[in-house]
Chain A
Amino acid sequence: MKFLRFISAGIGAAAIAATAHAAGGSLHAHEPEGGWAFEGPVGELDMASVQRGYQVYREVCASCHSMRLLSYRNLGEPGGPFYDPEYPNANNNPLVKSFAAQDEILSTEPNDVGDYDYRPARTSDPFKSPYPNDAAARAANGGALPPDLSVITKARHGGASYIYSLISGYPSEDVFSTREIPAEETPAAESEAEAEGEGAEAVDGGETEAAEAAAPAGPTSETVLKVSEIDSSHYDFSKYKGELVQPVGQYYNPYMAGDVSAQWRGDPRKTPPGGFLAMPPQLSDGRVSYLDGTEATVEQMSIDIANFLQWAGEPKQSQRKSTGLAVMIYLLIFAVLLWFSFHRIWRNVKH
């Protein structure tokens, strides 16, 4: 068939373009066991998980991370986690109203004497931001800017899998140890290397713009981790014989895009994957008490927050897929009809 050759040529070109983006120095993000419900042309978000994810966001993430592109009303709109057909207008949805009312935000309208008051949020307001501006966010986080999470699943390679892998992928406590630095050993070379590392890490949205250089006296102890002892069912770390020195206020994560070579004490040809970020591990079992009674394991919370952010990144995704199905069926029928029309018209012409 002439046609197959065509389509395969087109798809081939697209595939080359798609796979051409070189992977960074971080581990490839992986899905949770059983995959994501939203994947595939007809996959739908697991809304119970998105609802729990919103709880994780509110109770854990929201203390540092803003979601400026989301409004409370989005939660109750069609395709949103708290959509209720009884309230087609999300502004009337009592659950959504109560979520909004729990947050005090600074009014954008001045009051009678020209000051800006705090007031309970309305459903039409954007999510409350933890900091008034980026400078305040940096100041409160040792110089690092917690990225806005509105479109984070679209802004990172791997999307929801990246969020899930990163949040649940910190090495466990037992591979870390703290050591005194001998007095005569100056940390000068190290802080220089650190600055270099920052530049490379900051690339991915400034997640890990590191703290300013350490105090002039220099630290008296350092935290090191034995990478080869990291226990992971997704990746074999045992080949990385050596130690990684964790800078102050920085946390190693193999899924973080970055470059740890400056901190690596071991064979420089076998530098472990990943990078440092300024966010310490956030989740521990039972960190939130789920309203629906689900057991709040780290795994469960990581899945839920990833699902929530997947929804938040594109609230119209379920509409996109359902429209897509109708469009595809239409185009296929149209193509078949045209094919017959075409053969009717050309039947007397040798070509």
Chain B
Amino acid sequence: MSGHASTYEPKTGFTKWLDSRLPVVRLAYDSFVDFPTPKNLNYWYTFGGILAVCLMTQILTGVVLAMHYTATVDGAFASVERIMRDVPYGWLIRYIHSNGASMFFLAVYIHMFRGLYYGSYKAPREILWILGVVIFLLMMGTAFLGYVLPWGQMSYHGANVITGLIGAVPVVGDGIKAWLMGGPSIGNQTLQRFFSLHYLLPFMIAGVVILHIWALHVPGNNNPTGVEARKDKEGLKQDTVPFHPYYTVKDGFAIVVFLIIFAAFVFYMPNVLGHADNYIEADPLVTPAHIVPEWYLLPFYAILRAITFNIGPIDAKLLGVIAMFGAIAVLFFLPWLDTSKVKSMRYRPVARQFFFGFVVASLLLGWCGAANPDDPIIPMGSDKLVVSYTDANGNEATQTYEEYAAASTFRDQKMSEGVEATIAVEKAAAFRFVHLAQLLTLYYFAYFLVILPLLGLRENPKDEPASIHKAVLGHDRAAPAPAE
């Protein structure tokens, strides 16, 4: 898992004996001790280590929770509350696990945005990036499955919505949906398989993470300049430091700071990232007013709901599903969509503006995902009242009013004439959440499919430094680089 010549030298008899049979110590030494790492990595680069901690935390707490959890529709909700009330430190382990999912996604999004900003997906790191997207997909699957397990109202109805999306796929959709749920609806059999899969997927994530680290260690880390560390002995020495102790301590510090934020959620606002409705036991007969996924899936949910129109033979529902999955699928092709030879946006002033726009668009999409799509953001004009009645000729007629007093007088007058009349509200035109979501969705796809491919061919990047070492030395003199 290390792409550099091994510097490990076994010293004792036992380590020599072991090294000639299973060079596991050599592997660990070359990967995590004497691994040459660019010396200019900033704090945005600590999120890889933070994510490793997140994964381990989730697996560890998850295994513990599985010792106490009951995967039946009658027992799931009560067993989760038993963990909260009766199991020694159960409340702590469960809150770590539920908030840990949010922390995991928070860290993974920062990690991904960092990769986007510094061009970490470009050659020779395409496989590294693609493995990362695979991890992201597995994480979303795991999170969705895990959210079903407490068997609250959001668990049940959220699962209903998501499995319903699969049903939108033509021809095979309904079959796949029934296969996935093990019946016509989400029931005990669904909960049991979701529990099993929720236990399985994290280990698959761990497996892909190993590949991810392997793919990282072959070309070595990217860095904020986007300039590769020099390969010759002297250059390598100037550009890099050994991973241990330099980055173990830096990552360690960042991890502890991250844990402070994590602990603030776990101990002081453990339910703020969740939804109150999930503390109501699942009831298939009652649907919550607003079904919203967990916050980390909101941008994709907004993209799903932004598609309200049919294109040709494809109806809006299927198109929404395609757009939502497309939003992730496009990431797989990113290494080839970005045509720029310059990796870091530090030296791409125009692209940088589009990148920040992309970050803002993603956050706003999350906002749209949480809101009711029909709610107005910017109202244009005011709502009017329309009185509908049947006129003397037996035709439907309407009369529009601004004031309620006038409208009701007219209605009452018609009623006294023996004519049925009703008042309805005519909503004023407005710029609504669904409109914002549509614009943002357009930008989301345009960023990958239009802006990055064209910009790489058209823009004039600034000069890159000759080496990491030179960039570091020039750091004090040059203007401070943004977002560092």
Task: State the A residues within 8 Å of B (CB).
Answer: 2-3, 5-7, 9-11, 13-14, 16-18, 20-22, 24, 41, 68-69, 74, 147-148, 150-151, 154-157, 200, 202-206, 209, 257, 266-270, 314-316, 319-321, 323-325, 327-328, 331-332, 334-335, 338-339, 341-342, 345-346, 349-351
Task: Report the contact-size class of chain B (Cβ under 8 Å from the partner).
Answer: 35 or more
Given contacts A269-B385, A327-B263, contact A17 B295 (CB under 8 A): yes
Q: Is the CB of B289 within 8 A of A150?
A: no
B380 at interface (Cβ–Cβ under 8 A)? no
Residues of the A chain whose Cβ atoms lie less than 8 Å from the Cβ of B6: none
Residues of the B chain whose Cβ atoms lie less than 8 Å from the Cβ of A338: 249, 252-253, 256
Task: State the B residues within 8 Å of A (CB).
Answer: 39-43, 78, 81, 84-85, 91-92, 95, 106, 109-110, 153, 241, 245-246, 249-250, 252-253, 256-257, 259-261, 263-268, 270-273, 275-277, 279-281, 283, 286-290, 292, 295-296, 298, 363, 366-367, 369-372, 375, 383, 385, 404, 423-425, 472-473, 475, 483-484
Given contacts A17-B298, A20-B295, A350-B472, contact A324 B267 (CB under 8 A): yes
Residues of the A chain whose Cβ atoms lie less than 8 Å from the Cβ of B372: 22
Min CB distance B291 to A, Å, is 10
Residues of the B chain whose Cβ atoms lie less than 8 Å from the Cβ of A345: 245-246, 249
Q: Is the CB of A269 within 8 A of B298?
A: no
Cα–Cα, bound, A269→B386 (Å)? 12
Cα–Cα, bound, A156→B274 (Å)? 12
Min CB distance B140 to A, Å, is 16
Cα–Cα, bound, A105→B52 (Å)? 51
Residues of the A chain whose Cβ atoms lie less than 8 Å from the Cβ of B423: 268
Residues of the B chain whose Cβ atoms lie less than 8 Å from the Cβ of A69: 78, 81, 85
12 sampled A-B residue pairs with Cβ under 8 A: A2-B484, A17-B295, A17-B298, A18-B295, A22-B370, A154-B276, A203-B287, A205-B153, A321-B267, A323-B267, A341-B249, A349-B39
Q: From B292, which residue of chain A is reached at the shortest CB distance?
A: A21
| The one of B109, B273, B289, B366 that contacts A203, using a Cβ cutoff of 8 Å | B289
| The one of B153, B257, B292 that contacts A3, using a Cβ cutoff of 8 Å | B257
Q: Is the CB of A10 within 8 A of B43?
A: no
Residues of the B chain whose Cβ atoms lie less than 8 Å from the Cβ of A10: 106, 110, 261
| The one of A2, A21, A266 that contacts B42, using a Cβ cutoff of 8 Å | A2
Residues of the A chain whose Cβ atoms lie less than 8 Å from the Cβ of B295: 17-18, 20
Q: From B152, which residue of chain A is reached at the shortest CB distance?
A: A155
Residues of the A chain whose Cβ atoms lie less than 8 Å from the Cβ of B42: 2
Residues of the A chain whose Cβ atoms lie less than 8 Å from the Cβ of B106: 10, 13-14
Q: Is the CB of B268 within 8 A of A324?
A: yes
With contacts A328-B260, A351-B41 known, what are 7 further pairs, Cβ within 8 A?
Answer: A6-B43, A13-B106, A206-B283, A320-B95, A328-B263, A331-B256, A345-B249
Given contacts A7-B261, A22-B372, A155-B277, contact A320 B92 (CB under 8 A): yes
Min CB distance A152 to B, Å, is 8
Q: From B287, which residue of chain A is reached at the shortest CB distance?
A: A203
Cα–Cα, bound, A339→B271 (Å)? 31
Min CB distance A92 to B, Å, is 18
Cα–Cα, bound, A5→B484 (Å)? 9
| The one of B260, B261, B367 that contacts A332, using a Cβ cutoff of 8 Å | B260
Residues of the B chain whose Cβ atoms lie less than 8 Å from the Cβ of A7: 257, 261
Q: Is the CB of A268 within 8 A of B424?
A: yes
Min CB distance B105 to A, Å, is 10
Residues of the A chain whose Cβ atoms lie less than 8 Å from the Cβ of B110: 9-10
| The one of A16, A24, A68, A154 that contacts B279, using a Cβ cutoff of 8 Å | A154
Q: Is the CB of A349 within 8 A of B241?
A: yes
Given contacts A150-B81, A316-B85, contact A327 B256 (CB under 8 A): no
Residues of the A chain whose Cβ atoms lie less than 8 Å from the Cβ of B252: 338, 342
Residues of the B chain whose Cβ atoms lie less than 8 Å from the Cβ of A20: 295, 298, 366-367, 369-371
Residues of the A chain whose Cβ atoms lie less than 8 Å from the Cβ of B371: 20, 22
Q: From A267, which residue of chain B is reached at the shortest CB distance?
A: B404
Cα–Cα, bound, A65→B443 (Å)? 51
Q: From B428, which residue of chain A is reached at the shortest CB distance?
A: A269
| The one of B91, B109, B370 that contacts A320, using a Cβ cutoff of 8 Å | B91
Cα–Cα, bound, A157→B289 (Å)? 13
